[in-house]
Amino acid sequence: MLLALVSPVLAGLLVNEVVYDPTGADDGLEWVELCNNGEETLDLAGYTFENAGGTYASVYTFASGTIAPGEYLLVGGASTTHAGSFRENLQNGGTETDGLRIKDAAGTVIDTVLYDEPNTVLAEDDGTVPTTGAPAASSGKSIGRFPDCADTNVSESDFVLYDAPSPLAVNEDPNEGGGDTGTVTTVDCAGADGIVINELMANPDGSDSGLEWLEVKNTGAAAVMLDGWTVEWDTSSFTGASSWAFPVATPIAPGEYVVVGAGGLAASLSLGNAGSNADGVRIVCDGAPVDTVVYGASNTDNFLDDTGLVALSLAPKPTEGDSIQRSPDGLDTDVCGVDFVSGPPSPGAENSSIGPVGDADCTGSDGVVINELVYSTDAEWIELYNAGGAAVLLDGWVIEFGTSSYNKDEALPLGTALAPGEWIVIGSAGALDKDIELDLDFGNASSTDAVRLTCNTLPVDTVVYGDPNTDLWTDDSGLVATSLAPDHGTGESIARVSDGYDTDACGSDFTASATPSPGEANPVVEPPVCEIAGADGLKVNEFIYNPDGTDTGNEWVELYNAGSDEIRLDDYVIQTAGTDWGEDFRFPGGVFLAPGEFMLLGGETVADVDYLAPDLSLENSSSGAAGIRVVDCEGNVLDSVLYGDTEIEDPITGDNGSLEVVPDVSESVSVGRFPDGEDSDAAADWIPYAAPSPGSANADPGAIGDDTGVQGPGPGCGNKGGAPAPGGCNTVLPFGGFEVGLAALAMLRRRRA
> So what's the pLDDT on residue 654?
82
Beta-carbon neighbour count of residue 369 at 10 Å?
Answer: 24
Same domain, 409 and 283: no
Q: What residues contact 302, with CB distance under 8 A and at least 6 apart?
A: 237, 310
Residue 231 one-letter amino acid = V
Residues 158 and 231 occupy one common structural domain = no
| Spatial distance between the Cα atoms of 35 and 309, rounded to a whole number of angstroms | 45
Each residue of 261-296: pLDDT tens digit?
A: 988 888 889 999 887 789 999 999 988 999 999 998
- Does 374 fall in a domain? yes
User: Of 578-592, 696-710, 733-747, which range is least confident?
Assistant: 733-747
Q: Which residue, of 513, 547, 582, is where some domain finishes?
A: 513
Tens digits of per-residue pLDDT, 641-698?
A: 998 876 665 568 888 887 788 888 889 999 999 999 999 888 889 999 999 999 999 9
DSSP assigned state of 65: -
What integer is the mean pLDDT of 423-436? 93
CB 23 within 8 A of CB 148: no
**Mean pLDDT score across all residues of the chain:** 84
- φ/ψ of 280, rounded to 5, equals -145, 155
Domain assignment of residue 528, yes or no: no
In this structure, of 170-184, 301-315, 423-437, 473-487, the range with the lowest mean pLDDT score is 170-184
Of the chain, the percentage scoring pLDDT greater than 70 comes to 88
- What are the CB-based long-range contacts (under 8 Å, 24+) for 170-179? 171/16, 171/17, 171/144, 171/145, 171/146, 171/147, 172/146, 173/146, 174/1, 174/146, 178/146, 179/146
Question: Is the alpha carbon torsion for 299, 300, 305, 308 positive or negative?
Answer: positive
Closest to 414 (Cα-Cα) out of 482, 329, 345, 481: 329
Do 372 and 507 lie in one domain? The reply is yes
> Which range has the top average pLDDT, 325-339, 491-505, 692-706?
491-505
Q: Are 508 and 556 contained in the same domain?
A: no
Give the C-alpha separation, 201 to 209, whole Å: 12
Same domain? 315 vs 462: no
426 & 509 share domain: yes
CA pair distance 542, 602, nearest whole angstrom: 12
The answer to whether residues 13 and 57 touch, using CB atoms and an 8 Å cutoff, is: no
d(CA 453, CA 460): 5
**499-557: pLDDT as tens digits:** 999 999 998 899 989 899 999 999 998 888 899 999 999 999 999 999 998 999 999 99
Residues 709 and 561 occupy one common structural domain? yes
Same domain, 326 and 371: no
230 versus 28: the higher-pLDDT residue is 230
- Best CA proximity match to 547, nearest among 663, 739, 690: 690
Residues with Cβ within 8 Å of residue 694, at least 6 apart in sequence:
542, 544, 556, 558, 600, 602, 606, 608, 670
Burial of 188 (0-12, 13-18, 19+ CB in 10 A): middle
Domain membership of residue 711 (yes or no) is yes
The answer to whether the predicted template modeling score (pTM) of the entire model surpasses 0.85 is no
Handedness of CA 23, 79, 161, 43 (dihedral sign): positive
> Do both 165 and 274 map to the same domain?
no
In this structure, is residue 2 part of a structural domain? Answer: no
Mean pLDDT of 428-446: 91
Q: Indicate the number of domains in the chain.
A: 4
**What is the domain range of residue 310?**
192-343
Given the DSSP bridges, would you call strands 598-602 and 398-402 parallel, antiparallel or unpaired? unpaired
Are 498 and 542 members of one domain? no
Model pLDDT for residues 112-148, shown as the tens digit of each residue: 999 998 988 999 988 899 988 999 898 889 999 988 8
**Position 337 in a domain:** yes
Beta bridge pairs of residue 42: 67
The reply to whether 634 falls in a domain is yes
Is the pLDDT at 354 greater than 70, yes or no? no
In the 3-class helix/strand/coil scheme, how is 310-328 assigned residue by residue? ECCCCECCCCCCCEEEECC
Query: Is the confidence at residue 358, as pLDDT, over 60?
Result: no
Q: Does residue 3 contact residue 17 with C-beta atoms inside 8 Å?
A: no
pLDDT of 461 above 60: yes
Q: Is residue 717 part of a domain?
A: yes
CATH number at residue 601: 2.60.40.1260
Q: Is 394 a member of any domain?
A: yes
Residue-wise pLDDT tens digits, 73-89 = 999 887 767 887 888 88
Q: Are residues 411 and 282 in the same domain?
A: no
What pLDDT sits at residue 621?
62
Is residue 580 over pLDDT 90?
Answer: no
Pair 89, 197 in one domain: no
Non-local (6+) Cβ contacts of 207 within 8 A are none
Q: Determine contact, residues 433/426, Cβ cutoff 8 Å.
A: no
